[in-house]
Amino acid sequence: MAKARAIVKRLKAVKNIRKITRTMELIATARFKKAMDRATEAASYTKKISEIVADLSKADLSFSHPLLTQPEEQTKNVLLVMTSNRGLCGGYNSAVLRHVTARLKEARSSGEELTIEVVGKRGMSYLKFQEMEYSKAYTNFEDKPRYDEVEEIADRYIDGFVSGNIHRLDVAYTRFETVSRQTAVLETLLPVGSIGDDDENAAEEAGQGIDYEFLPSPEDILEEIVPAAFKARLFKCFLDSAVSEQIARMVAMKGATENAGDMISTLSMQYNRARQSQITSELSEIIGGAAALD
Amino acid sequence: MANELQLIVVTPETTIVDEPVSALRFPLFDGQAGVLPGRAPLVGRLGCGELKLSAVSGERSYFVDGGFVQINGKTVTLLTSRCLASSEIDSDAARAELAEATTRPAANDADIDARFRDQDRARAMLSLKK
């Protein structure tokens, strides 16, 4: 009897787990849809920015802006790590953190001064475990990052970069490519490489042969649009991370639910066998006993 | 349709307005600018202040906080970091912002510029709320 009991207990536990993972999958799906909508809505802003940049580039002016120029030395760098606050999302965090480890190794060998800033509790606990120090940690970004919160961070980076306290800003995050494909990447956001490359098609469609009037002047608009483009790009990193996290969780939980289902069928088979063999042995005991009486 | 402009207002988070309007007025960096259908193409820098539009459903006003404007044929696009309908403005927060900006010590030119900018923004918000 003991064995069958133990299996029943386990079966119950697995069934409960399946319920939880199934629910988590549904929640992640709903959140993913919302995050996805936000990301699509935000895309129109970046598209417009690159359109204006394309218009500006037709105005024959040399692009020079403090955020565009590469500083001479590269010793004070910042790495922003974007992870999730919660786990149970498959390889989402570890893929990002793998980039971080590689970057740290590189920094150690080259002797640069690398400051780490981290978003999400998962990244914080990882760095703590690795005994690596981080200077700032944010846990306020969930699946709906707000622009004004991101802007605050972006402003700090811009100030640091312009004043020469930051020479390079790298961001390790998960880029959303398609619904079935997200990759962890390490991207350099400062110095801003080029502001028009984001969306080549939009740039080409925009303002062909239109002679714009620039108010106050193309240079002035450029001066404003470079920080705006950087902020939009950083915001996009946050949005991408949020969307990717939900997808990763969705996939992980779907797998977990399926595995739990498989386990339930194996366990119930085992239970039935155990029960059957128990009945058989009891029967044979009774028959044996009856035969001894005769 | 001939005398209409398509107005699109986008912030980094979302698209706030996307509808045909017959006229609009928005804050450029140096003051209010009005646009009627048939305006020549323009790219300009926005200041902060009131965006007023006349649509089919009536006149509405919004608060915009800097950014850019692009006018291209019939399409007017406003890119701004923040855009609030005038009913959404929190006047207490704006008043607190104004008070904070006014009392903030400013030691150098950059600080003073920042202070003036913040004061202007808060005042623009307050005047819209009234």
The whole-number pLDDT of residue A202 equals 47
Give the model confidence (pLDDT) of A217-272 as tens digits: 888 888 888 888 899 999 999 999 999 999 999 999 999 999 999 999 999 999 99
Q: What are phi and psi of A279, to 5 degrees?
A: -60, -45
- Over residues A21-41, the mean pLDDT reads 93
Comparison of pLDDT for A8 and B125, the residue scoring more: A8
Q: Is the pLDDT of residue A88 over 70?
A: yes
Question: % helix / strand / coil in chain B, to the nearest 5?
Answer: 30, 50, 25
Q: Is the pLDDT of residue A97 over 70?
A: yes
- CATH assignment of the domain containing A124: 3.40.1380.10
The whole-number pLDDT of residue B2 equals 60
- Over residues A139-165, the mean pLDDT reads 89
Count of CB atoms situated within 10 Å of the CB of A15: 15
B15 CB burial (10 A radius; 0-12, 13-18, 19+): middle
Q: Which H or E element spans position A15?
A: helix A2-57
Q: Is A253 in contact with A186 (CB distance < 8 Å)?
A: no
Domains identified in chain B, total number: 2
Contact check, Cβ <8 Å, A213/B43? yes
The whole-number pLDDT of residue A94 equals 93
- Over residues A100-122, the mean pLDDT reads 90
- Domain of B46 in residue numbering reads as 5-86
CA-nearest of A85, A88, A96, A118 to A175 is A96
Q: How far is A139 from chain B (nearest CA, A)?
A: 20
- Domain of A170 in residue numbering reads as 32-249
Q: What is the dihedral of CA A33, A81, B13, B84, to 10 degrees?
A: 130
The whole-number pLDDT of residue A199 equals 47
In a shared domain, residues B112 and B59 = no
Give the model confidence (pLDDT) of B65-109 as tens digits: 888 999 988 899 999 988 888 888 888 888 888 888 888 888 888
| pLDDT grade for A209, boundaries at 50, 70 and 90 | low
- CATH assignment of the domain containing B43: 2.60.15.10
Instruction: Say yes or no: B6 contacts chain A, CB-CB below 8 A.
Output: no
Residues of B in contact with A44 (CB under 8 A): 10, 15
Give the model confidence (pLDDT) of A49-63 as tens digits: 888 888 877 776 666
Instruction: Say yes or no: B93 contacts chain A, CB-CB below 8 A.
Output: no
The whole-number pLDDT of residue A208 equals 57
Cis (ω within 30 of 0) for the bond into A191?
yes
Q: Is the pLDDT of residue A207 over 60?
A: no
Contact check, Cβ <8 Å, A214/B70? no
pTM of the model: 0.87
In a shared domain, residues B79 and B108 = no
Cα-to-chain-centroid distance, residue B104: 25
Q: Is the pLDDT of residue B123 over 90?
A: no
Contact check, Cβ <8 Å, A55/B11? no
Closest chain B residue to A226, measured at CA: B67
Comparison of pLDDT for A193 and A14, the residue scoring more: A14
Tell me if ipTM is over 0.95: no
Q: Is A185 in contact with A98 (CB distance < 8 Å)?
A: no
Kindly report the average pLDDT of chain B as a whole number: 87
In a shared domain, residues B65 and B26 = yes
- Over residues A77-86, the mean pLDDT reads 92
Kindly report the average pLDDT of chain A as a whole number: 87
Domains identified in chain A, total number: 1
Q: Is the pLDDT of residue A64 over 70?
A: yes
| Position A76 in a domain | yes
User: Residue B111: which residues within 8 A CB-CB, separation 6 or more?
Assistant: B104, B105
Residues of A in contact with B113 (CB under 8 A): none
Q: Which H or E element spans position A45?
A: helix A2-57
Q: What percentage of residues in chain A have a pLDDT greater than 90? A: 52
DSSP B3-60: T-EEEEEE-SS-EEEEEEEEEEEEEETTEEEEE-TTPPPEEEEEEEEEEEEEETTEEE
The whole-number pLDDT of residue A142 equals 82
In a shared domain, residues B45 and B82 = yes
CA-nearest of A81, A31, A232 to A147 is A232
| Position A37 in a domain | yes
